[in-house]
């Protein structure tokens, strides 16, 4: 562990932590990178021939670096203690009960990570929020870390990911921007520069943006909200087109050729899915409500309502086109993940369509080359 310029530890071996650290290891051979997780099954998967997640190009990156300067381990405490920089890249699901249930993000896992870092660390560290979190989560993490009784200094940074599943490796290799938020103090700016120097191994300096902590935390929520809003916008127009006889594909093309609008995220669909869009918008809605901005909350919540409407409308249209009954009819569903080139089934629109068709007593046959059977049933339950 002493032969490297810098030692990085990432807590969380999921869709963000694994690919991000693999690319850092590939681009920074002078940095030791270790991804840790309390799940032995998850770590065994990363150390095996069959990775726990599917992402085009990921296998090649991992094979190039693993055992050289990329490692996967369940020895969480030892790796944290040895690291100079610790990334927190754990799940922050929407709360299912209590205050803010159904909208507020649950940052329990982030707090547990912070408590572990405070407990096992014997040297100063830079702690980086990689998880998508509500604004001012860094403040809560800082309070936990500052409670250590060893006189250690922890600098908290926000470094949100802007990855799209299916193109994550390409996004990491050629990012539009890297965002780093930190305290606007001498120590905070120095910590931000240390992290920036890691990305500067392959990202041009002008694409590495530094902001204050709160701007960085909020930027990720806003980015996902804007993208999801475009999906809901074109889907709302698809309903209008079907009613009027217009062609939504032609409208999408005409509108997308306007440089002020652009063509991306203007393809009509069953609706958006994945682990981020809905969770982050609901989090944004809750934040707006918390600060008394009811009109702002209602505005962003409409994006979710439109998405639910589109999924429901799709199923109802299917049933209507099949003589208003699908009972006993065999229906093939090609693709179950929420988008192509991924095996992620979280909040996939396919699940909602499948659920509604099952309630209509249809017989569904699902095929997806990247989705594991157990994951499909888990999401459906």
| Cβ–Cβ under 8 Å, residues 192 and 210 | yes
Read off the DSSP letter of residue 29.
T
Report the candidate in 84, 87, 159 with the shortest Cα–Cα distance to residue 124: 84
Helices 213-244 + 277-290 axis angle, to 10: 110
| Cβ–Cβ under 8 Å, residues 180 and 209 | yes
Task: Return the ∠ at Cα 255 (arms to 254 and 259), rounded to 5°.
Answer: 110
Quote the longest CA-to-CA distance of the chain.
72
Strand, helix or coil for residue 331: strand
Which of 10, 28, 241, 276 is flagged as catalytic? 276
Two structure tokens written together for 133: 């979190």
**Beta-bridge partner residues of 104:** none
Report the candidate in 196, 107, 102 with the shortest Cα–Cα distance to residue 144: 107
Cα–Cα dist 37/102, whole Å:
27
Two structure tokens written together for 270: 């069953």
| Cβ–Cβ under 8 Å, residues 360 and 328 | no
Cα–Cα dist 351/377, whole Å:
9
Report the candidate in 181, 182, 195 with the shortest Cα–Cα distance to residue 31: 195
Half-sphere exposure at residue 332, Cβ-oriented, CA atoms within 13 angstroms: 3
- 28 is known as an active-site residue: no
Active site residues: 276
């Amino acid at each position: 562990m002493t032969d490297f310029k810098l030692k990085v530890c990432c807590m969380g071996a999921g869709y963000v932590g694994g690919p991000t650290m693999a690319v850092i290891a590939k681009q920074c051979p002078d940095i030791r990178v270790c991804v840790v997780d309390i799940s032995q099954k998850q770590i065994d998967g990363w150390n095996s021939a069959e990775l726990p997640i599917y992402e085009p190009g990921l296998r090649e990156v991992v094979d190039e670096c693993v055992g050289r300067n990329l490692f996967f381990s369940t020895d969480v405490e030892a790796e944290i203690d040895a690291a100079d920089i610790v990334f927190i890249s754990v799940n922050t699901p929407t709360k299912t009960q209590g205050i803010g249930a159904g909208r507020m993000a649950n940052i329990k896992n982030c707090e547990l990570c912070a408590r572990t870092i405070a407990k096992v660390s014997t040297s100063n560290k830079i702690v980086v929020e990689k998880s998508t979190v509500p604004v001012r989560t860094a403040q809560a993490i800082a309070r936990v870390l500052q409670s250590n009784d060893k006189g250690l200094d922890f600098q908290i940074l926000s470094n949100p990911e802007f990855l799209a599943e299916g193109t994550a490796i390409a996004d990491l290799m050629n990012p539009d921007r890297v965002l780093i938020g930190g305290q606007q103090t001498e120590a905070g700016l120095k910590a931000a520069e240390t992290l920036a120097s890691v990305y500067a191994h392959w990202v041009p300096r002008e694409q590495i943006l530094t902001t204050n902590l709160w701007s960085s935390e909020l930027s990720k929520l806003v980015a996902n909200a804007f993208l999801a809003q475009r999906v809901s916008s074109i889907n709302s127009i698809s309903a209008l087109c079907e009613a009027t006889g217009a062609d939504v594909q032609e409208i999408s093309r005409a509108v997308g050729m306007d440089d002020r609008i652009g063509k991306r995220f203007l393809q009509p669909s069953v609706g958006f899915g994945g682990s981020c869009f809905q969770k982050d918008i609901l989090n944004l809605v809750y934040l707006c409500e918390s600060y008394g901005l009811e009109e702002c909350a209602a505005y962003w919540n409409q994006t979710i309502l439109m998405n639910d409407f589109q999924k429901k409308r799709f199923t109802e249209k299917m049933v209507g086109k099949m003589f208003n009954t699908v009972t006993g009819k065999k229906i093939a569903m090609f693709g179950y993940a929420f988008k192509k080139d991924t095996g992620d089934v979280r909040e996939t629109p396919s699940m909602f369509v499948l659920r509604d068709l099952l309630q209509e007593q249809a017989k569904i046959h699902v095929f997806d080359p990247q989705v594991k059977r157990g994951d499909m049933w888990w999401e459906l339950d």
